[in-house]
Amino acid sequence: MKIKIISIGNNPPKSIQDILLKYTSRFDDHFKIELLEIKPEKKFKSVEQKKLQEAKKILKFIGTDFIVSLDENGSSCSSKSLSKKLSNWMQSFPKVTFIIGGADGLDKKIIENSNWTWSLSDLTLPHNLVKIILVEQLYRASTILNNHPYHRE
């Protein structure tokens, strides 16, 4: 299964890239992870216009993928629940794309076209931390599916 993570933001510092690489390199051959960073809009008249311009950039990269948008108003789930969802998606879709919005969030067009909207937390989290949490949780879900001892309960 291919997993694409699209995020709006600047390239993360090396320390964050190292952490992301630490997790993405652990995935087995069943998962191919692609990280795509899209530059945020800098010239805009309103926040809504900014989010719309960013949405247009995102839409160029998603095609017919199964889309999961990360948004504070989405549903929460446990690691085990995520692993079950990932298993179901693997059986039905060749590619799953996760979308992380910019500082002002995602345009409603992206949310409406998503197959699932996921909230990692009720907290406001820094952009790079969201990427780390997402990649770690995807890795954790994959280890649950493979009965690997990484996840403990």
CA-wise closest residue to 61 among 79, 85, 34, 41: 34
Report the predicted TM-score, pTM, of the whole model to 2 decimal places. 0.94
pLDDT in tens, 108-118: 999 999 999 99
Most confident segment among 16-25, 29-38, 40-49: 16-25
> What's the rounded mean pLDDT across residues 31-40?
94
| Residue at 20 is within a domain | yes
152 in a domain, yes or no?
no
pLDDT at 63 over 90: no
Range of the domain at 63: 2-145
- Residue 131 domain flag: yes
Whether residue 151 contacts residue 142, with contact meaning beta carbons closer than 8 Å, is answered with: no
Answer yes or no: is 56 within a domain.
yes
Domains held by the chain: number: 1
Average pLDDT in the 47-60 region?
95
Do the beta carbons of residue 101 and residue 70 sit within 8 Å? yes
pLDDT at 19 over 80: yes
Could you tell me the CATH number of the domain that includes residue 44? Answer: 3.40.1280.10
